[in-house]
A and B are shown apart, each in its own frame.
Chain A
Amino acid sequence: MLGQRLLPWDYGVRNLFRRPSRSLLTLGGLAVVVLLVLVVVGFIRGLEKSLAASGSPSVVLVYSLASAADIENSSIPASTAALLSASVEGVRRSFGEEHVSPELYLGTRVKAASMAQPGLGLVRGVTTSAPLVRGSVQLIEGSWPATGEVMVGRLAYSKLGAPHADLAVGESVEFDGRSWRISGRFAAAGSAFESEIWAPLPDLQTALRRQDLSLVAVGMQSPDRVADVDLFCRERVDLELKAVAESAYYASLQRHYRPVRMLGWAVVALVAGSGVFAGLNTMYGAVVGRVRELATLQALGFRRRALLLTLVQEATLLACGAGLVACVAGLVLVDGMAVRFTMGAFALRVDSVAIAIGCVVAALLGVVGAIPPAIKAMRLPVVDAIKAV
């Protein structure tokens, strides 16, 4: 087919500049469609990344059997951490320290300096063992919290609905009747910890008048050793403990959010579909206005296939240009934007998958949007088309 007499490549390109306003409007419309697709895909990818990055296969969470897998409801004796250290083999050790992290975890009202009303925040009481078990946690600013201090995840402000500046190092937050100075900020490789506030465990227990723990996180020498903690919990049924690999715990949360992800993909399909219709509408207008020109080209000897190809070429060029604009805008404006959700907060991720989907959608918009109006224009008899006004 391409061996036939075709219109020059430049012809299609020049045509785009003959009607700059129409071309720019079409480009803008298609770019918005692709950008919307990128936002939705970025949302899904960010949510998946947040939950996937939160779980390590070598870390096991031990919490109350009666908590129905909701760690916030869990209450276990403070002695559990020492009991696990003494009873379970295969616990990882570094620098003479066992990777056993006793933690108190709760959702509570937290008020930052400029907030009129407190927001719902996630607070975790930890010891210095926590970073041994949560290997992804990195202090990016300030220092580890001392008495009366907390350190905040880099997305904690989003979870609270507070301005970013309110959770800067040196500022204070209030929760559970106390004021806590922010001593540092931490990142955690995009995991759910980034939306949390970490306080020293003894301080938090004192503030809450609690002596118990919510959970103990234990780092094992290998994923295979997680079974040993599970075995201990089933042997000691009197303790009413449950052991779940951290990766399995967050995988169950991923299943919980599956309907949200499915809805997201449905939105991607709907947005792309609406973009195709918008493209069709634009291309119908563009082709109808060029019926005489196309008929003249046919009269000059160009075959209908050649004209169809040049119309598809124009539309695809425009759509791919719009895709590039949208990808750049997505990377600059959307990537990394914090979004609040029930589990905390996560960052939208315009990653390679999102970019690939955006480019494919853009190319499809061009090809699929151009073919129907082009076919319609080609069906007109040449004589009638030349007379068309």
Chain B
Amino acid sequence: MKLRISLTLVAAAAVPFATGCGSASNASTQSAKPAASIDGDQFLLADEPGGAVGVIEARENTSDGDEVVLVGRIGGAADPWIEGRAAFTLLDPSMAVVDESAGMGEGQLCTADCCATERQACTALVKFVDGSGALVRVGARELLGVEQGDMVVVRGTAKRDDSGNFQLLATGLHARN
């Protein structure tokens, strides 16, 4: 019994040392994610819109304000998504993303810095906007149920500037697969 009490005392004495005197609190590094309160169905098209063109062709032939139907694959960047915003980069369907170490052939590019210029010519930023023209503040994956690599057809309005930047202000999306 005496030994039992003694062992209990030793264990109790050890508790403060196990707890220590430093502070282990770290500031949270998680960003708050807004809940998907907007119905994404309003942007999903049951039927594929006609007259779809690739990103490369659209960059060459469309003007600011033109109605455009783009076809392409979600990607063209290591992370094609904008966190918490209904926007992503769309890659021309004729291009394929390959591993940086594999070596690039015709119609291929990688997501590293070496292909930054090529990516600029064959990718477009697609932003989904609401009725007032404001960007929807919900992540595209949650809103539209799409994933990286999906082949999609997007309808919207072209927006471009004198510096050659090209975007699509999208109002509808049809996923091919």
Contact = CB atoms under 8 A, between A and B. Distances in A.
Nearest to B88: A234
B31 interface: yes
Interface in B71-119: 82-85, 87, 89, 112-113, 116
B84 A355 contact: no
Interface stretch (B19-27, B62-70, B147-155): B19-27
What band does the interface of chain B fall in when counting residues whose beta carbon is under 8 Å from A?
35 or more
Interface string B9-36: 0100010011111111011111111100
A347 B31 CA distance: 28
B163 A227 contact: no
Contacts of A352: 19-24
A222 B30 CA distance: 11
B2 A9 contact: yes
B55 interface: no
Interface string A224-251: 1011101100111110100001010001
B164 A238 contact: yes
A67 B113 CA distance: 8
B143 interface: no
B31 A223 contact: yes
Interface residues of A, number: 48
Most chain B CB neighbours (cut-off 10 Å) among A8, A227, A228? A227
Nearest to B29: A247
Contacts of B42: none
Given A65-B113, A356-B20, A55 B84 contact: no
A223 B3 CA distance: 56
B158 interface: no
B58 interface: no
Interface in A245-279: 245, 247, 251
B22 A349 contact: yes
Interface string A26-64: 000000000000000000000000001001110000000
A316 to B, nearest CB: 8
A227 B82 CA distance: 6
A327 B18 CA distance: 11
A323 B14 CA distance: 10
B31 A57 contact: yes
Nearest to A56: B27
A288 interface: no
A66 interface: yes
Given A57-B31, A353-B24, A234 B116 contact: no
B129 interface: no
B10 A227 contact: no
Contacts of B18: 355-356, 359-360
B3 A309 contact: yes
A240 B15 CA distance: 55
15 contacts: A2-B1, A8-B2, A57-B29, A226-B83, A231-B85, A231-B127, A237-B120, A349-B22, A351-B22, A351-B23, A352-B21, A355-B17, A355-B22, A356-B19, A359-B17
Closest 8 CB pairs of A and B: A352-B20, A351-B22, A223-B31, A355-B20, A238-B163, A247-B29, A352-B22, A9-B6
Interface of A: 2, 6, 8-9, 52, 55-57, 65-68, 222-224, 226-228, 230-231, 234-238, 240, 245, 247, 251, 309, 313, 316-317, 320, 323-324, 327, 349-356, 359-360, 363
